[in-house]
Amino acid sequence: MTIYYSILLFILGSALGSFYTVLATRLPLKRSIIKPRSHCDNCGHILTAWELIPILSYVILRGKCSKCRQSIDPTSTVVELFLGITFVLAYLYFGFSLNFYLLLIILSLVAIIFVSDFKFMVILDSPLIISALLVIGLKIYYVGMTETIYSICYGLITFAVMYLFKLLGDFLFKKESLGGGDIKLSFLFGLILGWQLGLLTIAVGSFIAFPIALYVTMKKTKNNEIPFGPYLILGLLVVFFFGETILKFIII
């Protein structure tokens, strides 16, 4: 059964990866996710069914359009592989439990936010709203209504703290310091992990982002804005696994 579920989850992960890439590359440009159908950006060739199979098509086509031989953007294939593999690992590690489903939601957000925030400096609202609703549903099912209401309050705490950071940042730097997406995203930290680990997520995310921000600032390129979302969501992934250990280490 383990092998059977692993194969199914790999297919699910890679199919979702394909869908998420479409979502994360089209919605920021206000383009429909249904039309136009997936096509080659160079020659406009509309992809046929066998050219749309996650991962396999890219391998068979050796990364090139079947018509004009232009290289295909590998983003989608990387996302498909990432989610296919991590969905299986999540199942092997947790089995079908609350943590397994929470981890699938976090991994999905990692994929979507990495693509949309690095490409367009945007964190989409719809994945955040759907994730929050899924987490609330899962919590009601697994831990009950009272605990879930607490979780929502913890989410509001991490949201409020992040909002205060934004006000402080805007004041100090005299410009927009944090995007609205980063603040909305931080609601999920408290909702998923509670207020302590939720706040730790913001700290860990900033800790990961800091050296990169420093590097970009030192390079003094024209556009020295860096997206914060990818580091925050990586922080969530780190704290999801190691948060308790990190807390013990800090508090002693």
Within positions 165 to 194, which residues make up the interface with Zn ion, using CB under 5 A? none
Q: Which of 24, 27, 40, 115 binds Zn ion (CB under 5 A)?
A: 40
Q: 223: phi > 0 → left, psi -120 to 50 → alpha, else beta; which?
A: beta
DSSP-assigned states of every residue in 19-74: HHHHHHHHGGGT--SSSSPSB-TTT-PBPPGGGSSTTHHHHHTTTB-TTT-PBPPT
Region of 12-20, 31-39, 45-53, 118-126 interacting with Zn ion (CB under 5 A): 45-53
Under 8 Å CB-to-CB from 192, ≥6 apart: which residues?
A: 102, 105, 106, 135, 151, 198, 236, 240
Query: If we measure between CA atoms, which residue out of 112, 116, 65, 107 comes closest to residue 86?
Result: 107
Region of 29-37, 46-54, 62-70, 230-238 interacting with Zn ion (CB under 5 A): 62-70
Q: Which of 8, 33, 59, 68 binds Zn ion (CB under 5 A)?
A: 68
Region of 70-78, 134-142, 169-177, 234-242 interacting with Zn ion (CB under 5 A): 70-78
According to the binding rule CB under 5 A, does residue 45 interact with Zn ion? yes
For Zn ion, how many residues bind (rule: CB under 5 A)?
A: 8
According to the binding rule CB under 5 A, does residue 42 interact with Zn ion? yes
According to the binding rule CB under 5 A, does residue 153 interact with Zn ion? no
Calculate ∠ Cα 100-197-115, nearest 5°: 60
Give the residue with the Cβ less far from Zn ion, 61 or 98: 61
Region of 20-28, 30-38, 60-68, 224-232 interacting with Zn ion (CB under 5 A): 60-68
According to the binding rule CB under 5 A, does residue 65 interact with Zn ion? yes
Binding site for Zn ion (CB under 5 A): 40, 42-43, 45, 65, 67-68, 70
